[in-house]
Amino acid sequence: MNAVYDNESEQIYEAACHLVRRGISVIPTGGGVSVRAKEPHTQALIASGHTYTNDDGELRASWKPMQYQLPSVDDLEVWYLQTRACGLGMVTGELSGYVVIDVDLEGLPLMRELGWKPHVISPSGGAHLYLRWPGWFVQSNASKNKKALPPGFDVRGDGGYIMFPPSRNRQGFYRRTDQRQRLSIEDVPEAVTVAGETYPLRQALGLTPPAPPESQLAEQQVFYPFDAEEDRCPMFLMLDRAADYAADSRNKGAFMLGLWANANGYNRDEALRAAGEYTDMVQGVKRTPFSVDEARKAVASAYTYPKKDRWTKREETYP
């Protein structure tokens, strides 16, 4: 066992229960002195039934369900009291309601220059800063793979998680500070300059409202071929077009399906039913699983956006 003290799993269990009672989703991680302290705890997830079968027929652990639903009491007991996981990951994004800026040692000078006070200190001496989820999709990114972010800055948003106290790794513990007031979007400047290079910080962190999807196409009429007496664009045409997005993002394809369905006179319930067909169409595009619930969530979110123009029927002509 990775615990240095006998009740480490129990302490993590109590912290996890506290977060879930507040409506914040969590996952089990290796924790303790494990070399995989920050990774999802495979055995715990499998033991609680959070799995999928890959293309080779092998059973794999999945923490994706916790992005859309809180873990149950039974889940927490299996993870921490039976499997004895020693780490706690707080799921970020819409469900939990938080976005976290993760600053490593390289980014600390800029953090101090901005006057930000961290909420959590990591074992390496880095910092975690908590913001309220802004109401739109925030992509999890790291400066090493997104050049728009200053060096040493990561953001954990939708589809991400962050280690939470009292978890630890081989370097030590994650520690809460006395700071309780959340960072606000207004505290994040639109741009910062580091070593002579300017970074669009607020936008790169995903903290600016997204432009309406396909704003460029909004200026053009979208035509579709259909010669029946139906006033609305057939759903199968929108499904086919939405499936074209799946190689890039199956969630984006589902979102676009909802956006188009709304524009073309389909009510929300009709679009949600179509999400099941969309899920079947795109399931095998990537190796990771994609659930009907995920598709429906993306479709439903599209109905909160302003309605776009209805597609225009095109008359077929022949030579």
- What one-character-per-residue DSSP string does 138-168 give? -B-EETTT-TTSPTTEEEE-BT-EEE-TT-E
H/E/C letters for each residue in 209-229?
CCCCCCHHHHCCCCEEECCCC
Cα–Cα distances (Å) from 154 to 86, 90, 105, 193, 216, in that order, read 24, 15, 12, 17, 30
Q: What's the CATH number for 92-210?
A: 3.30.2250
- For 217, the token pair is 């196409």
SS3 state at 313: strand
User: Which residues belong to CATH 3.30.2250 in the chain?
Assistant: 92-210
SS3 state at 175: strand
pLDDT of residue 269: 93
Question: Of the ranges 48-52, 128-132, 147-151, 204-208, which is most confident?
Answer: 128-132
Tens digits of residue pLDDT in 66-93: 988 899 999 999 999 999 999 999 999 9
68-82, 152-166, 207-221: which range is least confident on average? 207-221
pLDDT of residue 144: 59
Tens digits of residue pLDDT in 88-129: 999 999 899 999 999 999 999 999 999 999 999 999 999 999
